[in-house]
Chain A
Amino acid sequence: MTASFLIAFVVGGLFCVIGQLLFDVAKLTPGHTLCLLVVSGAVLDGFGLYEPLIDFAGAGATIPITSFGNSLTHGALQEAEKHGLVGVITGMFEVTSSGISAAILFGFIASLLFRSKGRP
């Protein structure tokens, strides 16, 4: 159990180091960096590499934004596996990521609850 916390720490930290390298060394904007990470998550799932990583690192792999790409691709692939090529298209309208829905929901709730403090 302790080992899984440690692994989550290290793997999650390494994802963030990759992000920081893209910030500082490749001089990408945060937007570009996040998009790149999401796309790489989708591609990794295409090769079937992201699920083993989740098995290994737990939250260390599900918390970084790469898991968005993974869960979207995973949903699409599951549909595709059932219904073939048509499944890819119909699957795209079924896939959701809990992160996106949660962000929309809590974003709206936050706008009801909190007031902007103005720019610092």
Chain B
Amino acid sequence: MDRQAYSQLEQQITPKTPIALNLVKAFVTGGIICTIGQGIMYFYMYFFDFTERTAGNPTVATMIFIAMLLTGFGKYKRIAQFGGAGSAVPVTGFGNAMISAAIEHRTEGYVLGVGGNMFKLAGSVIVFGVFSAFVVALIKTILVKLGVVGW
């Protein structure tokens, strides 16, 4: 079997990714996660002294706490299978990546296993987040100094 025939056969056999269906699933999953987040946000605003601006931080932390429980009991995997990007794009997905890595590598010890592997998947997000924040802030500050834009 030559290469062309093989690739043809491969294309026939592999199931086509149903893009439309995946999009709907991602939309619904992500939407539900954000709606839960909105509920938690209102909880913090109603019972504690947080405004709409400041309630975001405890909300994110609580969402990651929920992600920890779901990951620990092995339920997040199922959500991820259904939701695709819908479960990966919210911070719960980021939390899941870090938490599952921490649980999985516990047998290698806390320092080398947990501490070292926690950032294996999520580290790139932090690296690019911090670096892009630096670049954006630098560019904007220079532009402001030159008088091109205001704050």
* Chain A residues with a Cβ under 8 A of chain B: 1, 4-5, 8-25, 30-31, 33-35, 37-39, 41-43, 45-46, 54-55, 58-60, 62-65, 67-69, 71-73, 75-77, 80-81, 84-85, 87-88, 91-92, 95, 97-104, 106-111, 113-117, 120
Residue of B98, B110, B121 most packed against chain A (CB within 10 A): B98
Contact between chains at A109 and B84 (CB < 8 Å): no
**Residues of B with C-beta under 8 A to A88:** 134, 137-138, 141
- The total of Cβ contacts below 8 Å across the A-B interface reads 277
Residues in B101-143 with C-beta less than 8 Å from chain A: 101-107, 110, 114, 118, 121-122, 124-126, 128-130, 132-142
**Residues of B with C-beta under 8 A to A120:** 77
Given A19-B26, A103-B98, the answer on whether A114 and B140 have CB atoms closer than 8 Å is no
Residues in B59-91 with C-beta less than 8 Å from chain A: 59-61, 63-65, 67-68, 71-74, 77, 83-86, 88-91
* Cβ-based interface call for B145 (8 A): yes
Given A12-B31, A35-B128, A38-B129, the answer on whether A30 and B88 have CB atoms closer than 8 Å is yes
Contact between chains at B98 and A107 (CB < 8 Å): yes
CB distance from A17 to the nearest CB of B (A): 5
CB distance from B29 to the nearest CB of A (A): 7
**How many angstroms from the CA of A58 to the CA of B38 in the assembled complex?**
7
CB distance from A72 to the nearest CB of B (A): 4
Contact between chains at A69 and B30 (CB < 8 Å): no
Contact between chains at B31 and A33 (CB < 8 Å): no
CB distance from A74 to the nearest CB of B (A): 8
**Residues of B with C-beta under 8 A to A84:** 141, 145
Residue of B nearest to A83 (CB): B141
**Residues of A with C-beta under 8 A to B132:** 38-39, 42-43, 69, 72-73
Contact between chains at A62 and B37 (CB < 8 Å): yes
